[in-house]
């Protein structure tokens, strides 16, 4: 290849490279220019960005604000006596040893307790649990706003665990609105307000777990109640405080927690408390009719299982009803002729299938009235007439 040919090719290569370089500049400059033009944004004329509104108060806040001021703390004091072992009080012991070996135990001791309650009337009437003020010598009521009043127990009904306490009347006493527990349904909101574990003004939230949970099923057979069950946390000190619905109305009185249970609490329906408290305010005793039998609900399957056991103490009819397990001596049932193994199937013509149903029918009967109770005894049916007695007569 001659020198002239080499020079010619070199010029063509140079021209090609220059053309590529020029093309790249023409290609990228417009993009760069558009990018530069899009960068600055003039917001001087734009309206300010709208602020996100703060969330409104929840229904729990509204409910607690409505009922909370009427919820009180109840401090109690009571005196208990301690007995010294009679051995140490023996004169011979004291003559021989003197007083040096006699234990210096105080004969009396002051015990302090705490619970909750809520005011229901401007006259200073408040509700709480009977076990909160049980045998209290001194009752002190502390309002949420810090005011303190001496309290006087007007009435106690241990069977329903209800008590009425009176404080001084004041025009500006906050009042808790009372709801209707008969309209409560499973799944409704439940708000527990009180002073658990000494922590004043505490609120917990849950739902109504079930209704008409009998006191026997809860494990307190000496009471006569059908509880509202809730998973709202109820702890010691909550007793006597209100269980509230989403509108801030009292639907129950927090009263018990089941030992060993997690997240299960119980409240007395407020409709029951309304009836009982009206009598307690007047200083009246609440009558609770009773028959004097220990009983369990019976089904054909349970009866068949019992009868198939060769060690069973008795054979029972394989029917549905209420099995009498024991008859208390000198009770109305004993006087009417009830026997262990009887199966109650009717009361005044109404079929009875569970112990809870029988207890409610007796509770709602009148003292002095006569109940016609049909029982199955072996293969015979009998009708027994029984006049319910008053439960206070039972030890």
- Work out the average pLDDT over 336-343: 94
Name the token pair of 223.
């009471």
How many Å apart are CA 7 and CA 48, to the nearest integer? Answer: 69
Q: What is the pLDDT of residue 344?
A: 95
**pLDDT tens digits, 114-171:** 999 999 999 999 999 999 998 899 999 999 999 999 999 999 999 999 999 999 988 7
Percent of the chain surpassing pLDDT 90: 52
Q: Is the pLDDT of residue 61 over 70?
A: yes
Distances (CA, A) of 176 to 164, 169, 183, 191, 266: 15, 15, 18, 14, 20
Radius of gyration of the chain (CA): 39
127: how many CB neighbours lie within 10 A of its CB?
28
Q: Is the pLDDT of residue 25 over 50?
A: no
In Å, the largest CA–CA distance within the chain is 149
Q: What is the pLDDT of residue 258?
A: 67
Residue 378 — very low, low, confident or very high, per pLDDT cuts 50/70/90?
confident
Residue 22 — very low, low, confident or very high, per pLDDT cuts 50/70/90?
very low
Question: Where in the sequence numbering do the catalytic residues fall?
Answer: 131, 161, 239
- Work out the average pLDDT over 361-367: 87
Q: Is the pLDDT of residue 174 over 90?
A: yes
How many Å apart are CA 1 and CA 219, to the nearest integer? Answer: 116
Residues 6+ apart with CB under 8 A from 242: 67, 71, 118, 176, 192, 193, 194, 250, 252, 253, 254
How many Å apart are CA 114 and CA 136, to the nearest integer? Answer: 11
Q: What is the pLDDT of residue 10?
A: 53
- Work out the average pLDDT over 67-83: 86
Answer whether 295's CB lies under 8 Å from 325's CB. Answer: yes
* H/E run at residue 380: strand 380-386
Across all residues in the chain, what is the average pLDDT?
82
Angle at 136 between CA 132 and CA 138, to 5 degrees: 115
Answer whether 139's CB lies under 8 Å from 113's CB. Answer: no
How many Å apart are CA 181 and CA 230, to the nearest integer? Answer: 13
How many Å apart are CA 240 and CA 130, to the nearest integer? Answer: 8
Question: What residue has token string 């809860």?
Answer: 218
Between 223 and 206, whose confidence is greater? 206
394: how many CB neighbours lie within 10 A of its CB?
13
How many Å apart are CA 205 and CA 233, to the nearest integer? Answer: 7
Q: What is the pLDDT of residue 31?
A: 37
Name the token pair of 28.
């990228």
Name the token pair of 377.
């005894």
**pLDDT tens digits, 283-337:** 888 888 999 999 999 999 999 999 999 998 888 999 999 999 999 999 999 999 9
Q: Can you list the domains of the chain with their CATH numbers?
A: 60-166 (2.40.10.10), 181-281 (2.40.10.10), 289-393 (2.30.42.10)
Residue 224 — very low, low, confident or very high, per pLDDT cuts 50/70/90?
confident
């Amino acid at each position: 290849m001659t020198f002239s040919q080499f020079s010619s090719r070199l010029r063509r290569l140079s021209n090609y490279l220059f053309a590529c370089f020029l093309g790249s500049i023409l290609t990228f400059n417009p993009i760069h220019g558009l990018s530069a033009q899009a960068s600055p944004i003039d917001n001087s004329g734009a309206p300010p960005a709208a602020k996100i509104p703060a969330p409104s108060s929840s229904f729990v806040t509204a409910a607690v604000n409505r009922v909370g001021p009427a919820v009180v703390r109840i401090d109690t004091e009571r005196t208990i006596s301690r007995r010294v072992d009679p051995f140490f009080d023996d004169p011979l012991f004291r003559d021989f040893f003197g007083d040096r070996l006699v234990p210096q135990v105080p004969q009396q001791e002051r015990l302090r307790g705490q619970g909750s309650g809520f005011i229901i009337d401007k006259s200073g009437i408040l509700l709480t649990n009977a076990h909160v003020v049980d045998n209290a010598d001194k009752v002190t009521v502390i309002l949420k706003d810090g005011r303190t009043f001496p309290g006087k127990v007007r009435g106690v009904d241990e069977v329903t665990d209800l008590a009425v306490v009176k404080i001084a009347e004041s025009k500006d006493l906050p009042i808790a609105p009372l709801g209707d527990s008969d309209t409560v349904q499973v799944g409704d909101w439940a708000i527990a307000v009180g002073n658990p574990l000494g922590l004043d003004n505490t609120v917990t939230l849950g739902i109504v777990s079930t209704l008409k949970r009998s006191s026997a099923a809860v494990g307190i057979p000496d009471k006569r109640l059908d509880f509202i069950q809730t998973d709202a946390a109820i702890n010691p000190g909550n007793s006597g405080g209100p269980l509230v619905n989403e509108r801030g109305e009292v639907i129950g009185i927090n009263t018990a927690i089941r030992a060993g249970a997690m997240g299960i609490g119980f409240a007395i329906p407020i409709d029951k408390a309304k009836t009982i408290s009206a009598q307690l305010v007047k200083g009246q005793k609440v009558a609770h009719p009773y028959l004097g039998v220990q009983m369990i609900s019976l089904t054909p399957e349970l009866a068949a299982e019992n009868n198939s056991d060769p060690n069973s103490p008795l054979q029972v009819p394989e029917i549905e009803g209420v099995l009498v397990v024991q008859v208390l001596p000198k009770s109305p049932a004993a006087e009417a002729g009830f026997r262990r193994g009887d199966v109650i199937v009717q009361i005044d013509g109404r079929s009875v299938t569970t112990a809870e149903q029988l207890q409610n029918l007796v509770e709602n009967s009148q003292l002095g009235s006569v109940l016609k109770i049909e029982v199955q005894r072996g293969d015979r049916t009998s009708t027994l007439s029984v006049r319910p007695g008053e439960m206070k007569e039972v030890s």
